[in-house]
Amino acid sequence: MSLTTLMFRSLVRLLISLVGEPVASITTLLYYSDLLPQNIILQRWVRHELLDQENYLFHFLINFLRCFW
């Protein structure tokens, strides 16, 4: 599989999650980038299934937020 195919698939998955469930996606990004306070109520919005191996752009955004925010 080429790199373009992998990145396109990851982009589509990221956009679908951001459009379909924007609150859960943003909360998951903030939670895994350690920008969300540790709160039981906020942790209910976190979707752990977004962090599978093929969601490269989601992992990139998490690491970007960890480093530069």
Quick one: pLDDT at residue 69?
77
Structural contact between residues 42 and 26, judged by C-beta atoms closer than 8 angstroms = no
Q: Are 14 and 29 in contact (CB under 8 A)?
A: no
Query: The whole model's pTM is what?
Result: 0.84
C-alpha span between 29 and 32 (Å, rounded): 6
Supply the pLDDT for residue 1: 65
pLDDT tens-digit series, residues 18-39: 999 999 999 999 999 999 888 8
